[in-house]
Amino acid sequence: MKRLLFRCLMATMVVLFTYSCAEEQDFNQVDDLNVTPTVASSLFYLESTEEFINLATATPIFYSHTFNFDPFSEQFVADNLLEGALLYEIENTTSKPLTFSIEYLDEGGNVLDVEVFDVEPEPAPLLTLRVAYGPGGKNLDILRNTSSLRVTAQNLGDNSSTSAASEPKVILRSAAEFRFELL
């Protein structure tokens, strides 16, 4: 009797499983997959003391350096760039009004774009700037063709004043965010 009951129960389960709610599997979904990762990275960090700024007496430029910037040298990366943003944060506790100039240079050293930031002396608020490229921003080809960044810092004040801060200095931080489409 138990054997007959067991067989009936198994037959009923097989029939129910056969007609259960199951979708047919679609293994072509990968064709519809669109991945758009965002990649973030720091670019450069500049810190200068007020004492160092005061020592630059021959010219008001106290800092000038060219940084390599080749994230788009690989064609696949350049072609799949959707948008980007460069972020700058400037903190000034010196007694100096300052100007920072960031030039975007191509492989031949030609200037593609320039960002200029004027910074007030202390008590200056923390200056945060975001420069967008792509939809709603500057032309994306500027980023694609940039191979180096030239950063120049200039003292617009005198060379003798000193801040009342315990360690007066200027700090420039930069970072980048890029969004890509991977097909």
pLDDT (tens digit per residue) in 81-112 = 889 999 999 999 999 999 999 999 999 999 99
For the chain, give percent helix, strand, coil, nearest 5.
20, 45, 35
Select the CATH number that applies to the domain covering 33-180 from these four: 2.60.40, 3.10.20, 1.10.510, 2.60.120.
2.60.120
Q: What pTM did the predictor assign?
A: 0.75
Whether 178 contacts 42, CB under 8 Å = no
Element (H, E) at 7: helix 2-18
Count of beta carbons in the 10 Å neighbourhood of residue 42:
10
